[in-house]
Amino acid sequence: MEDVLIRPLEKVDLRDPILVEGLPGVGNVGKLAADYLRDQLHAKPLATIYSKFFPPQVYVSESGIVRLVSNDLAYWKAPASAAHDLLILGGDFQGISPEGQYEITEQVLRYCAGLGVREVYTLAGFAQGRVIEEPRVLGAATLPARVDAMKRFGVHFSRNDPGGGLIGASGLFLGLGRLFGMEGVCLMGETSGYFVDPRSAEAVLKVLAKVLGVAVDFTALEAKAKEIDRIAQKIHEAEQRTTEGPSGSPPASREDLGYIG
């Protein structure tokens, strides 16, 4: 098997397609957003990506059928009035090594370049280490003009927001994409980083939908966000109970805990 194997499922002609990448990462924000967009648009499978740089495992379905882990490209043909078709990259894993990240990204970009892709949007989560009730969408871009354009959609740009760099697929698809003549933007939803975050994914996807001019029904994603909110609230309540003393007495004061190093 080759290091990266892209197996086409169909041959299509696309109109100036835009690539949207959303692979597993912090809070699974990018994956949730990309998968939801694919399902909402009823995008069709285009190619399956296998690699030695994915974990050595298969998934087993409820019926006992195995499937080799993979990533997938799907395509959506836009209405005749639109300027761009879409390619949506999702899947099971990012590369498990730096070499794998580079190799997988390069091969996917090379394949997409052959389909006419010149523009890329990567979707990701930005961990803040605390619960975020109203997540902002933070951005990074390949050109100043794209920064200005995204600000009009409410995206926040700051030298400190991305922490000095983007690690993994969300950054590499932009950085390596420039070598293939592609420009683009990374949209990052603020998230605690503690659990899967559909609310952050919704915030990211709402911005992307406006940028791309596509209609998305967010009802199902909002329901997932409410369910996660309920789970988070139960966890918070459980944590509060464990920090209380016997019979609900308050936790020991700072002086009482002074022996702890």
CATH number of domain containing 13? 3.40.50.10900
- How buried is 207 (Cβ within 10 angstroms: 0-12 exposed, 13-18 middle, 19+ buried)? buried
**Would you write out the chain's pLDDT as a tens digit for each of its 261 residues?**
899 999 999 999 999 999 999 999 999 999 999 999 999 999 999 999 999 999 999 999 999 999 999 999 999 999 988 899 999 999 999 999 999 999 999 999 999 999 999 999 999 999 998 888 899 999 999 999 999 999 999 999 986 555 567 889 999 999 999 999 999 999 999 998 888 999 999 999 999 999 999 999 999 999 988 888 787 777 667 767 776 655 555 554 434 333 334
Residue 227 lies in a domain: no
252 belongs to a structural domain: no
Which neighbouring-strand residues pair with 202? Answer: none
Do the domain assignments include residue 206?
A: yes
Number of structural domains the chain divides into: 1
Strand partners, 190: 126
Cβ-proximal residues to 234 (8 Å cutoff; 6+ apart), any chain:
none
Q: How far is CA 54 from each of CA 69, 80, 124, rounded to the nearest angstrom? A: 7, 38, 19
Per the structure, the complete domain to which residue 149 belongs is given by 4-217
Residue 22 CA: distances (Å) to CA of 19, 60, 65, 142, 260: 10, 23, 26, 18, 43
pLDDT of residue 177: 98
Q: What pLDDT, on the 0 to 100 scale, is given for residue 146?
A: 96
Residue 257: inside a domain, yes or no?
no
User: Which tokens is 215 given?
Assistant: 């209609």
Residue type, 129: G
Q: Is the pTM of this model over 0.75?
A: yes
